[in-house]
Structure 1
Amino acid sequence: MVNVQDIPIDIHSSKLLDWLISRRHCQKDWQKNVLGIREKIKNAILDMPESQEIVQLLQGTCVFQYFYISCIKLGSSRWLEFFTDVNYFHCRRIVEILQDTEKNTKNFLGFYSSQRMKDWLEIQSLYQKNNVYLAESAQILQRLVQYEIPSLKKQITKAEQALVESAKKEKEYGKQAEDGRKMYEQELLRIGIQGHSLRAELLALAAGLTSFFAEITKDIISLKEPYEYYINFRQYIHQRSDSQVNLLPVVNLLLKKGLAATVFEYKYGVAPDTIETPSYDLLLKEDQKQSDDEIDFCDDSLNFENEEVLGFAVDAQIDVVGDSSGLCAGAVTETVARGEDAFCLVESLDTQKIIRNELNELLAFLVMRKEDDERDSPSDIFIRGFEKRPSGISKISPSQIEYWISEIKAILNQLLDEKKNYLFRIRSSQQYVEKVVEEIEAKKGLEDRYKKMQALMVERQDEARQQIAKAHQHLHVVLNSTKLLQQQLEKEISLKYDGRKVNIMGAITSALAN
């Protein structure tokens, strides 16, 4: 026959408190007695002897280690609020320690005159009454198993995930910072500047357009013959000389005056008396604010007063000095061209567009004429046999027209060149210069931005490592406290069953597993 004493008592940790109440070891209303005991513990701890053993004992509670030292340093007693895990077994051990430290206060009757000892003996007695200590310890054990330990493990898992993600993002931001640096360098290379003083370098690039404008104007002037051919052919077709019609007006003005022809003269029909070169001091001062580096432009200072082509700015402005009747009344004593009106015709973006349109018109005419002259159908030969064209038209051969076509196409290709158009806009618009500078600085800022984000990810990794270390340390303390409390409860319950083996099992087993 099996001896009952040999059969262990297995209790599920989550049902421990219910088991104790159902077996009538504890009362259902045990909690009402705990509040008074807690208050007495709080007051008793205020008057504790300086004992390293007591400090080490209380360090076994799951919160002491994280609040005691910092609160004591601050001179605060608030740390006492956190002794929620000081249980009966701690109190019993404190009494044992006080029996040694307070032994001098023991009288001949075996009683202690020390108030400390009286307080803790009272607390111990209150705990033992109706087995309140068993119910409280069981509740503490359940809370540790069901909430504290899983919560700490989740914190560790979350911190480890944050560590992995931060390391991944650190690499990504490092790559993006490198890509940003390459983009910035490629943009500088594409534009042809070094990036030390952006505004000054961009304006210096645009200053080199002066020779281009002179060359392109010279090429357009070389189109005088095809222009005259266009006029002569139109007059021949209409059988009249229409002096009121100004064909290709901008090209015509360039043919007459070359670089001396300004936008002002094209708009108002008269040449200005004075042309004022726009100033770029504000742009250059902005560069000086942003960088201490200086670029030497051989003392040119980007002043185009000595150039044939004057200035480049945005806001068109005309100052008329003299009678208020204006240009139309003929009473103007002096006219001043400023801003875009001071540009030569090939320099202004607006008139440059008109030039391209007029050259395309001339090109279309020449292509049509070439096709007509090369067509050898019987009807065309018959018509040419009876047709009497002026010498200015008849002497032009298809090969000559082909040559003119190639010249016009070459001019248009130069005017449509992407890099040249980029410089045209820089030269003609201070706002565009600012826009380009902002775009370049934005690309430059990408590297710094991603480097800062990369540094932030490094900081987050350090924080995550610290969180993991602290959580592991805290978890280690809680696990040890839980194991100890489990053993103490098993021993106390075993005493009530004449030493029968007690096993607290279930969720606690997985919770205590590493």
Structure 2
Amino acid sequence: MINPQDLPIDIHSNKLLDWLISRRHCQKDWQKDVLVVREKIKNAILDMPESDEIVELLQGAYINYFHCLRIVEILQDTEKDTRNFLGYYSSQRMKDWQEIQSLYKRNNLYLAESAQILQRIVQYEIPALKKQITKAEQTLEETVRKEKDYCKQAEDGRKIYEKELTRLGIQGHSLRAELLALAADLPSFFAKLTTEIVGLKEPYEYCVNFRHYVYQRSDLPVKLLPLISLILRRGVQPTTFEYKYGVAPDSVETPSYDLLLKRDKKPSNDDIDFCEDCIDFGDAESIEFPEDDLQIDVVADSSGLVVEAVARGEDALGVVENLTTQKVIRNELDELLAFLMMRKEDEERETSSDIFIQGFEKRPAEISKVSSSKLDSWISQVRAVLDQLRDPQKNYLVQIRSSPQYVEKLVEEIESKRELEGRYKKMQALMIEKQDEARKQITKVSQELQAVQNSTRTLQKQLEKDISMKYDGRKVNIVGGITAALASR
């Protein structure tokens, strides 16, 4: 038969205080008595001897009955000179702590308080510390991931910036000056393009002659391809002023980009010399000009006769380099190309009705002498000019040359791409800083948790021992939530 004395007493840690009260080891109103003890402890710790162990006991942990026992043991050594022959101490320190010890033992007050301390630590303090560690570990994991993301984004930002510089063909030392330098060879391009447009004189005349033939008159009210006609008549690139007002200006105030260059944040002489001698903008240089400057200055005598006209701003630009008139040129060339392709199709069509009509039709020599192969050659010429006018790179350079606002917009876009890398590097550095903080917090809280768990194990054993003494040495186990609380993470 099993001896009941051999069976252990298992007490759930969360029910320990209730168990002690229900077994009448402690009183229900124990809390009012413990307040008196806590007040005496508060006063007693103000006068303590110099001892490293006492300092360690008084720091951190909540002082309980078992701490008081150890303090009394230490005082027995430090206050031994105050002990009389009867075994009593005259030291007030010893008297205070012996009184505290006596009050704790009365009605097993120390068991109730220690049980409450144990329950609070198991149910609240240890879970809270573990939660802090878990949160710090999650923060560490998240910041490590974000650091990698920001590192990649910083690298991508750098590549985007370098790719943009490569696309634009600049180095990025002095953005405005370098962008303007890209347009330095535009005057020669405009001159070459004007020459090629002038080379379209034959197809233009063919179009005019065919028009006269169809309408059987030459004094038509609508002028055919007026802007191309002006270029052919002049033989060189006319100004926008001449196209708009029908007369050549007496003087053209060619602009300069000096004001725009001064806005560069960095010196423009780092790796590229952008002096005025290096950038030749030809006869139609551009500057930053507001809309108020787009005007015509005229000087008239008393009879009202205009004797001088000055072209400024966009009016000073050639018709090929002005974005507005360039669109007109493209439209007129498209019109000419459509006519030539239609004529080529008519010439190559060989239906019976076409052959019959050609037998009776008498065309002027300047029309009839043009063969299908000649039309094909003219079509290729017109397409070559249109391809150059529609070249995205050239159009981009023309915008740079003719619009300071476009240059500023382009500079802002490039600078925003340049700032991407720096912005992400700052975020990366911030994540590294947060990682260090999280690691420090994990280390600190882990040490704190370890200390609390160690003190809790000690308190658990002390309670198990004292409760066991009340049951003639029968084994006592405090189980339940305390097992999980004291387990390693």
Q: TM (normalized to structure 1)?
A: 0.88
Q: Which residue of 297, 309, 331 maps to 2:284?
A: 309
Coordinate RMSD, CA, aligned: 2.4
Q: Give 1:67's aligned residue.
A: none
The 1:301–1:29 alpha-carbon spacing in structure 2 relative to 1, beyond 3 Å, is farther
In 2, Cα distance between the equivalents of 1:20 and 1:330?
120
In 2, Cα distance between the equivalents of 1:292 and 1:16?
83
Aligned: 1:493 with 2:467: yes
In 2, Cα distance between the equivalents of 1:44 and 1:477?
25
The equivalences for 1:112-123 within 5 A come to 112-123=89-100
Deviation, 1:485, is 0.4
Q: Give 1:284's aligned residue.
A: 261
**Equivalent pairs: percent with the same residue?**
69
In 2, Cα distance between the equivalents of 1:284 and 1:412?
32
Deviation, 1:22, is 0.8
CA deviation map 1:434-492 (0-9, x unaligned): 22222222222222222222222222222222122112211110110000000111111
Q: Give 1:366's aligned residue.
A: 340
Q: Alignment partner of 1:286: what SS?
A: coil
Aligned: 1:246 with 2:223: yes
Q: Give 1:73's aligned residue.
A: none
Which one-letter code corresponds to 1:128 in the other structure?
K
Count of aligned pairs between the two proteins? 486
Runs of 4+ with deviation above 6 angstroms: none
Q: Which residue of 363, 383, 386 maps to 1:412?
A: 386
Which one-letter code corresponds to 1:475 in the other structure?
L
For structure 2, the 5+ residue unaligned runs are none
The equivalences for 1:181-330 within 5 A come to 181-242=158-219, 244-289=221-266, 293=270, 295-297=272-274, 299-300=276-277, 302=279, 304=281, 307-311=282-286, 313=288, 315-316=290-291, 317-322=293-298
CA deviation map 1:399-445 (0-9, x unaligned): 11111100000011111112111112111211211222222222222
In 2, Cα distance between the equivalents of 1:248 and 1:32?
109
The equivalences for 1:20-419 within 5 A come to 20-59=20-59, 64=60, 85-107=62-84, 110-242=87-219, 244-289=221-266, 293=270, 295-297=272-274, 299-300=276-277, 302=279, 304=281, 307-311=282-286, 313=288, 315-316=290-291, 317-322=293-298, 331-419=305-393
Check conservation: 1:275, 1:310, Cα contact below 8 A. Answer: no
Which one-letter code corresponds to 1:31 in the other structure?
Q
Q: Give 1:441's aligned residue.
A: 415
For structure 1, the 5+ residue unaligned runs are 65-82
Check conservation: 2:174, 2:266, Cα contact below 8 A. Answer: no
In 1, Cα distance between the equivalents of 2:434 and 2:401?
48
Which one-letter code corresponds to 2:314 in the other structure?
E
CA deviation map 1:96-115 (0-9, x unaligned): 22222223334555544433
Check conservation: 2:153, 2:421, Cα contact below 8 A. Answer: yes
Q: Alignment partner of 2:262: what SS?
A: helix
Which one-letter code corresponds to 1:448 in the other structure?
G
Check conservation: 1:197, 1:294, Cα contact below 8 A. Answer: no
Deviation larger for 437-446 or 118-127: 118-127
Check conservation: 1:312, 1:343, Cα contact below 8 A. Answer: no
Deviation, 1:362, is 0.5
Which one-letter code corresponds to 1:352 in the other structure?
Q
CA deviation map 1:279-332 (0-9, x unaligned): 32233222244788352146426463xx2333265644334445699xxx9644
Q: Give 2:433's aligned residue.
A: 459
Deviation, 1:511, is 1.7
Check conservation: 2:118, 2:456, Cα contact below 8 A. Answer: yes
Q: Give 2:450's aligned residue.
A: 476
Check conservation: 1:320, 1:334, Cα contact below 8 A. Answer: no
Q: TM (normalized to structure 2)?
A: 0.92
Q: Give 2:3's aligned residue.
A: 3
Deviation, 1:243, is 5.3
In 2, Cα distance between the equivalents of 1:99 and 1:438?
81
Deviation, 1:366, is 0.7
Which one-letter code corresponds to 1:477 in the other structure?
A
Check conservation: 1:315, 1:340, Cα contact below 8 A. Answer: no
CA deviation map 1:154-177 (0-9, x unaligned): 222332233233223322322222
Q: Alignment partner of 1:287: what SS?
A: coil
Q: Give 1:76's aligned residue.
A: none
CA deviation map 1:85-138 (0-9, x unaligned): 211111221122222222333455554443333332333233223222211111
